[in-house]
Every structure is written in C-alpha cells, then in structure tokens.
Structure 1
Amino acid sequence: MSSINTNAAAMTALQTLRSTNMSLDTTQNRISTGFRVSEAAHNAAYWSIATTMRSDNNAMSTVRDALGLGAAQVDIAYTTMDVVKDTLDTMKAKIVAATTPDIDKSKIQEEIKQLQNDLKTYASSATFSGGNWLDVEQSDLQKVVASFLRDSTGSISLGTIEVDTAKTALFNGAADEFGLLEQGEAIEGAAFEALGADVELTATDGSDLSVDLFAHDFDGTGAGEGVIEFGEAGAVSFDVEINGEKSRITVDRALLDTLTLTTEGTISDQTELTAAINAAISEADLGDVLVADAGATASDGIVLGFNDPANPGDILVFEEDDHDAADFELTVSNVRTTSNGNFFDATSFDIANADALDLQEYMQGIDSMLSTVTTAASDLGAIKTRISSQQDFVSKIMDAVDRGVGQLVDADMEQESTKLQALQVQQQLGIQALSIANGNSQMILSLFRG
C-alpha cells in the first residue's frame, strides 16, 4: 500500500543517513584532534584517568626543572670542594717544606697566607641562585625535590634528596657550630684544669716526681661535672718538656675507640681518664719515661710523673740521696681541647715562628681537614650522581605516562582513515537512498493522470 501521508522508505533512509552522519562526525573529530577520547562524554572513566595523569605529568615536569636546579647547586659545591682539596694539598706540601732545617719559614708563610685567602674566596663564591652550602650562617638540611608521588588512595607527596650542610660547610657562622676548616670548640662539660702558665715539676725529699695534669669532677658535685664525651673527632692535647726535650701528647676519639674501658668516646671516671692518658703517652713513645696516675689529694685529679724503672707503672718517688732532682725536669703546658679534632683554623694559622711540634700539628691537622673535605666531596659526588639518575628516571616516567595515556585516549589514525572512507561512501549511498525513497511518492501522481 502506498501512502502520501507516510513514506516509510524515506523515514528508514533518513534514519540510516543520520546514523552515518553521526559516525562520520565522530571519525572526523578523532582525525582532527588525534584523540579517541577528547572529552568526558566520549568515555568518562578514560577521560578522568587521562586528565589526572596529564596533571601529574605537568607536576613531574616541574620536578625535572627542580632537579636541574639542584644538580647545578650540587655541581657548584662539588667543583669548589675539589678545588679546596687541591689547595689543602698544596698547603700541606708547604708545611712539609717548612720542616727543612734553616729554611726561612716567614717566606713560606707568605705563600700559605695566599692559599688561606684562596680558601675563603672559594667558599664564599660557591653560590648558585642565592644558595651556598660551603659558607653558611647556620647549617641545616637542604632539600632537592626529586619526585612526585601519588599513592593508591590518591594522596600526593614530594620525594626529596637531603643534603646536610653541617657535613659540607667549610665555614659555619653559627656560634655553636663549626666548619670543616675551622677550629672546634672546647669539649663541652670537660672541665679540665686550666693550667695557664707552664707547670714545672719540683721534687723534695720523700715526694713523688709528678705534676698536676687534669682535674675533673666525675661525681657531679662541682662545675663541669659528669662524664667527658668525645665526639667523632674530639681530642685533648698537651705538651710535655722532659729535661729540655719537648713532646706533644694527644688523647682523641680514635685512641679511645681502641680502649676496652671506654664506650663510644665517653670517659666516665678517673680510671678511664688515666688509662686514656697513658695510652696517649705510649702513642707518643714516652711510655718508658712518663706515667699518669691518680692524684694524691684530689679523688678526681690526674698527675703526670716519671715512670719508676724499678716499678714500671708507678710514679718515681724521690728519696734523699737516691737521685738528683735536676735530672728530672718536667714541664706541662699548652693544654687544649677540641670538639672536632681541629686545634686551629685552616685560614689563620701562622708557621713563621712555629717549632717542630707546631709544624707537625699543622701538617697532621691539614691532613685531617683534607680527609674530611675529601669525604664531603665524595658525598656531594654521590648526591650529584643520584640527581642525574633521578633526572633520567623522571624523564623516562614522563614518557611512560604519555604512552599510557595515549593507549587510553589516542585515536588509531590508520583505522579512523579507513572508517572515514567507508562512511563517506555510506553517506553518499544514504543520500541516494533517501532521494529514491522521496521519488517513490512522485509515482503516485501518475495514477491520477487521464
């Protein structure tokens, strides 16, 4: 039955053409944008995931920039530290040269002075973007942003690489801190007796041939009471002159660590202090000559005297007609403590009038500073390598995220190109079909022609 009110064929053709046009619009949109999912209406779940990951990738791009800034700061500090190490090497060589007999030490001091000025300049110049890890007002933890993290709950955080400037600072302006090239503070709480002027041994009939060395209140009833704690590089030093020959004796953390009586550098009583001093005396090859013992009058005092050949380990007792007191001249002087092992600043010591003991101390001190600077440079080198590795990792992660997002939302251009051609043909056929369906109504007119 044919009807002039309802053209079913045209309606079918129109619906087909509309469907084809919609598919064609979708395909053209994908080809134009390159995305299979370019808005939430296309696929809400994929669009949400892609949007979040793109946002995270933007954040990681900023992290990559922050790593670049951190790498530059570390590189500045490491390069400067390397130059400082070479300068300390040269300084040590100059001190060794100063030990040559009859050499003019004042001339060498002029060279050392220039090197000392160089050390100050190097440290103050190690600045990048306003930050300096080698010359600080106060040490703290510097953090280099290294990663952007999102956990399974959606919470985000930043990962950092920490640099402790207390371990890298060559100079530290804080009152209670010190740099690698600076003299340490006196050991806290170690109220060693301040001997002031030289203390000389005097002997009378029936007396010990000894001098007061240290006094410390381990019982906790007076000033400076309690245990004596040596830090990682803490040290005590004093000079002894025996019958005109001078030696330097040092009790340091390394020595304490070899003793079974002390724990983690802590001296807790008179016996441990006496043992530590005697160990230091042996280190100075004076064990056959000197011995430390408990004070006769002060329970916490330490005295130093001549070792009794007849009773090794005991202080020699002077008895009438046994010895000539003039044969036992002992002077104790230059008693010092330091919390970091440095008894002097690398930038201020002067060798012009230094004796052999001073030169030896300067040489050993510079060598110790050289060791700590080398360690700090090694730490910076490790951080530099880690930052470089993290930069490479972040770049790869960003690429991986881009690929993952692409798998979700990118259009398959080969497939869309093929579909476009097919849909264009379907569109043309749909238009032709609709034209034919509309033409069928015209045939009804022929029924009414005479």
Structure 2
Amino acid sequence: MNSVNTNVGAMIALQQLNRTNTELQEVQSRINTGKRINSAKDNGAIWAIAQNQRATSSSLNTVKESLSRAVSTVDVALSAGESISDLLLQMKDKALAASDTSLDTAARSALDADFQSLRDQIRKVIANAEFNGINLLKTAAASLTALANATGTKLTVQSQVLALGGSKITITNGAALSSASVASTMVGLLNTSIANVSSSLSSLGTASKSVTQHLEFVGKLQDTIDAGVGNLVDADLAKESARLQALQTKQQLGVQALAIANGSSQVLLGLFR
C-alpha cells in the first residue's frame, strides 16, 4: 500500500542501520580494549569464569612473595650454617694442636685464645642469621611457614638450632683448651658437632631447593592461568579488523538504503500532477 503516513521500507532500513551501528560499536570496543568480553553483559558465564581465574592469579602474587621471603630466610640460615661449619673445622684444628702433650703453656694458651675467639664468632654468626625477623638457627627457633597455594595451604621448613651447648653443637659457651686432655676430649665433641651441623645444612639445602622449585612452579602456574583467561576474553584483532571494514561498508549502504526509502514517498507526488 502506498502511504505517506507509514513508510515500511524506511522502518526496515532504519532497523537494519541501528543493528549495524550496534555491531560497529561492539567491534570498536573490542579493538579499543583488546577484549572480546569486557563485562558480564557481554557473556555472563565466561566473564564469571575469567573473573574467578583472575582472582586466583592475583592471589598467586601473594603466594610468590611469601615463598620468596621463605627462600631468602632459608638461604640466610644456610649461609650462616656454612660459616659455622667452617669455624668448627678451625676449632678442631686448634683443639687437635692443643692436645699435643709436648706443647708448652704459652703455645697452648695461644691456641686456646684462638679457639675461644672462634667459639665466640659462632655466637655472633647465629645472632645475625636473621631475615625478616626470622632466625632458624637460634635457640628455641620456630619452624618457618610460607603460603604454598592460593587456598592458604602452608609449606613448612624445619628450624635447625645450632646454638652452642645444644643437641647439635655440643661444645658449651665456656669451652676452652685448658689442658692437653681437655683438648683431646674437645676434638671428639667437635667431630660430633661437625657431623651434626653437616646434617642440618643438608636439611636446609634440601628445603631451600624445594621452596625454590615450588616458587618456580607457582610462577609457571600463574602464567598458565593468565594465558587461559586471555583465551577466554581476548579478542582476535585480525578478525575484528576485517569485521570492522565489513560493518563500515554495511553502515554506508544502510544510510543509502534509508535515504532511498525516505524518498519513496516523494514519488507519490507525481500522481497528483
């Protein structure tokens, strides 16, 4: 029906043009942000999955920080323990030399002075074997805990108390080389202490390696999660670019179609001339 009141062709052309403009805005948004899904409005299910994975990835940053502190703490204790082991070896040399009954009093006194200086140095090393307020070597040292994953599971590193007079280093704070017989007994105590410290260092070394490996794993896990989120929400810009060109052409054609439809009512004027 020819009518000037209702232009069906113009209505259809306008609907198509509006739809094209909506799609064009969507493509432009994807190109601007680089994302196919920017909000829950775009795709609620995918957005929710991606948001949950983003939360996990963000939590893993905290896990990595905790593990990094743990690695540093254990490495400080390990470095201090190695220094203590070296000091014990030097003390054993002094004690062994002092056990020689042919030494005179002056020579033994000199060895004893060196021995006590090394002994005191062990205390200083232990006192300074601290990182972030945690010392794994001091008396009554607590075990170290760190976050292992985003759910809050803990990773534990056992402390290794290397204080003088403890169960591992059996020589006391007042140990000295007062005589050849005492020096001979001290050699045995130092042999035991050296073996105990070596065992403790082995445990710390294994713990440091384990925590470091777990830290590397968490980093790889985070990268994998981030890549998965990208697969869910990132836009294919090559595809969107091609779609943009098509929609721009379609928009121009829609404008022309609307202009033609709007001009159809002018044709009716010819019927009245």
TM-score > 0.5, shorter chain as reference: yes
C-alpha RMSD of matched pairs (Å): 1.6
CA distance, structure 1, for counterparts of residue 84 and residue 149 of structure 2: 32
Equivalent residue for 2:168, pick from 180, 183, 187: 180
Is 1:121 the equivalent of 2:115? no
The letter for the 2-side match of 1:145 is: L
Q: 1:348 deviation in Å?
A: 1.9
**5+ long unaligned stretches in structure 1:** 149-156, 182-341
Q: 1:51 deviation in Å?
A: 0.4
The residue that corresponds to 2:211 in the other structure is 387
Is 1:91 the equivalent of 2:85? no
Is 1:400 the equivalent of 2:224? yes
The residue that corresponds to 1:3 in the other structure is 3
The residue that corresponds to 2:134 in the other structure is 131
Q: Deviations over 1:45-79 (max 9, x none)?
A: 11111001101111101111111111111111000
What's the % identity of the aligned pairs?
34
Q: 1:141 deviation in Å?
A: 2.5
On the 8 A contact 1:142/1:164 being kept in 2, the answer is yes
The residue that corresponds to 1:171 in the other structure is 163
CA distance, structure 2, for counterparts of residue 7 and residue 139 of structure 1: 88
Q: Larger Cα Rg: Structure 1 or Structure 2?
A: 1
On the 8 A contact 1:139/1:164 being kept in 2, the answer is no
The residue that corresponds to 1:369 in the other structure is 193
TM-score, normalised via structure 2 length: 0.94
- Give the number of aligned pairs: 270
CA distance, structure 2, for counterparts of residue 391 and residue 143 of structure 1: 14
Higher relative contact order (CA 8 A, sep 6+): 2
Q: Deviations over 1:256-295 (max 9, x none)?
A: xxxxxxxxxxxxxxxxxxxxxxxxxxxxxxxxxxxxxxxx
TM-score, normalised via structure 1 length: 0.58
The residue that corresponds to 1:76 in the other structure is 76
On the 8 A contact 2:143/2:157 being kept in 1, the answer is yes
On the 8 A contact 2:98/2:179 being kept in 1, the answer is no
Q: 1:24 deviation in Å?
A: 0.7
CA distance, structure 1, for counterparts of residue 37 and residue 22 of structure 2: 16
The residue that corresponds to 2:267 in the other structure is 443
The residue that corresponds to 2:20 in the other structure is 20
Is 1:353 the equivalent of 2:195? no
1:23-34 pair list within 5 angstroms: 23-34=23-34
Q: 1:18 deviation in Å?
A: 1.0
The runs of at least 4 consecutive aligned structure 1 residues that moved more than 4 Å come to: none
CA distance, structure 1, for counterparts of residue 188 and residue 227 of structure 2: 58
**5+ long unaligned stretches in structure 2:** none
CA distance, structure 2, for counterparts of residue 139 and residue 65 of structure 1: 22
